[in-house]
Amino acid sequence: MMRIPMSSPNLTDAEIQAVNEVLNTPVLSIGPQIEAFERAFASYIGVAHAIAVNSGTSGLHLCVIAAGVNEADFVITPSFSFIASANCILYERAVPVFVDVDPATGNIDPTHVAEAAEALSAGGKAAEHWLPPALRGEQRGAGGRLRAILPVHALGQPADMAPILDVARRHDLIVIEDACEAIGAEYRGRKAGSLGNAAVFAFYPNKQMTTGEGGMILTNDEAWANLFRSLRNQGRDVFDAWLNHTRLGYNYRMDEMSAALGRVQIQRIEELLAKREQVAGWYNQHLADVELVERPYVAPTTTRMSWFVNVVRIKPPANRDEVMRRLAEVGIPSRPYFTPIHLQPFYAKTFGYQRGDFPITEYLGDVSLALPFSGVMTEDQVDDVCRHLRRACHRERAVGTVAPA
């Protein structure tokens, strides 16, 4: 039994009341809540259009469609991410072209993005190096076109967007920001989610704000906004009152209860982020003198960090997996974060990836450890986690109440 949860939503009576009010009406979907939530969210990010969907993954899928990504096309993206940021490319039978990350931040390395874009646009032999092993050589076939870059603002820290946007302009590529972990984060004074052609946020309960399940697409492009509204609603024409389905669509709608919950959460967003920042600050203090733990790095381009998780790196001779086991023995949960996407069994099998393909991503995947984190944690809980983490790293026997998991 874990005595501290890995994550917890931050909810008040206001959220409960807002959801209850919806339940007292007959309109549980396609109603006023979703529109109000979208308006509030667009205004917070400072982007013209916000389109609510039923998950971050659905939002990313619709962005890939809007970007004109077709079968066999290429999209440049990092492997050091949650699997959804690559799966959304596979949904359109396109190919994620992984590039390695910056060792300091864990975000996509713009130098590799530039090199990959250059090579893939040129095609031929130069492109081969960047393709998944299974698609190199004769099997590559006709191949598609490089259409988009999908950077991920990992762990609540914006990717280095300026050089990425530059590459996109040079090669006429769409930029889709996976901002699912980075609500409120700022890159050189500009909000994550306002930098690319479209961006996606997610509201799963472990994120900075939640709607249960849910996501939001942001874009300044009105035609895209209309397309997203159509695609999330079975391809129905937005301006058509009748059941006229002009394209292949999906049911990616957000319901009214979730939207009502989201409205209260986005109203409270600064409070939610401030509380998480305070908890991250406690971790930073309590881990300052733990020799074998490297604390999170915040890049100078990150003018505001949005604390999504608290991921530390476990240094040798301590071993991340062993530390995780020792923490679990004393009832403290922790997780590897991230397990590289290219080494996930489905990707390794489909694309022929193996260890060694993306060394920095793999190194980070081996040493990174997410500690329990939320905006409702107390300083005592943080202290408790940190004391046990120190013992676990320094190979001393854990003392105190041992409750086997």
Ligand X SMILES: *Cc1c(COP(=O)(O)O)cnc(C)c1O
Q: How far is the CB of 202 from ligand X (least distance, A)?
A: 3
Other beta carbons within 10 Å of 234: 15
Q: Are 267 and 249 in contact (CB under 8 A)?
A: no
Q: How far is the CB of 113 from ligand X (least distance, A)?
A: 17
Among residues 311 and 367, whose Cβ is nearest to ligand X?
311
Among residues 273 and 330, whose Cβ is nearest to ligand X?
273
Q: How far is the CB of 40 from ligand X (least distance, A)?
A: 19
Residues that bind ligand X (CB under 6 A): 55-57, 81-82, 84-85, 152, 178, 180-181, 202, 204, 215
Among residues 67 and 202, whose Cβ is nearest to ligand X?
202
Q: Which residue is nearest to ligand X (CB)?
A: 56
Q: Which residue has the tokens 């995947």?
A: 365
Instruction: Give me the helix-helix angle, 379-393 and 269-286, nearest 10°.
Output: 40
Listed in sequence order, the residues at least 6 apart from 379 whose beta carbon sits closer than 8 Å to its beta carbon are: 282
CA-based nearest residue to 233, from 219, 218, 217, 244: 244
Among residues 81 and 374, whose Cβ is nearest to ligand X?
81
Among residues 19 and 216, whose Cβ is nearest to ligand X?
216
Among residues 131 and 273, whose Cβ is nearest to ligand X?
273
Q: How far is the CB of 287 from ligand X (least distance, A)?
A: 23
| Residue-wise burial string across 69-86, b where 16 or more C-beta atoms lie within 10 A, e elsewhere | beebbbbbbbbbbbbbbb
Tell me the C-alpha distance between 137 and 43, whole Å: 48
Q: How far is the CB of 53 from ligand X (least distance, A)?
A: 9
Q: Decide: residue 267, CB within 10 A, 0-12 exposed, 13-18 middle, 19+ buried.
A: middle
State the amino acid at position 226 in one-letter form.
N
- Any idea of the CA torsion for 181, 164, 359, 130, to the nearest 10 degrees? 120
Q: How far is the CB of 319 from ligand X (least distance, A)?
A: 26
Among residues 82 and 347, whose Cβ is nearest to ligand X?
82
Q: How far is the CB of 81 from ligand X (least distance, A)?
A: 5
Q: Are 49 and 219 in contact (CB under 8 A)?
A: yes
State the amino acid at position 105 in one-letter form.
T
Q: How far is the CB of 291 from ligand X (least distance, A)?
A: 30
Among residues 56 and 296, whose Cβ is nearest to ligand X?
56
Among residues 78 and 333, whose Cβ is nearest to ligand X?
78
Instruction: Characterize the bridge pairing of strands 198-202 and 174-178.
Output: parallel
| Residue-wise burial string across 290-299, b where 16 or more C-beta atoms lie within 10 A, e elsewhere | bebbebbeeb
Q: How far is the CB of 89 from ligand X (least distance, A)?
A: 12
Q: How far is the CB of 237 from ligand X (least distance, A)?
A: 26
Among residues 54 and 381, whose Cβ is nearest to ligand X?
54
Among residues 211 and 230, whose Cβ is nearest to ligand X?
211
Q: How far is the CB of 85 from ligand X (least distance, A)?
A: 5
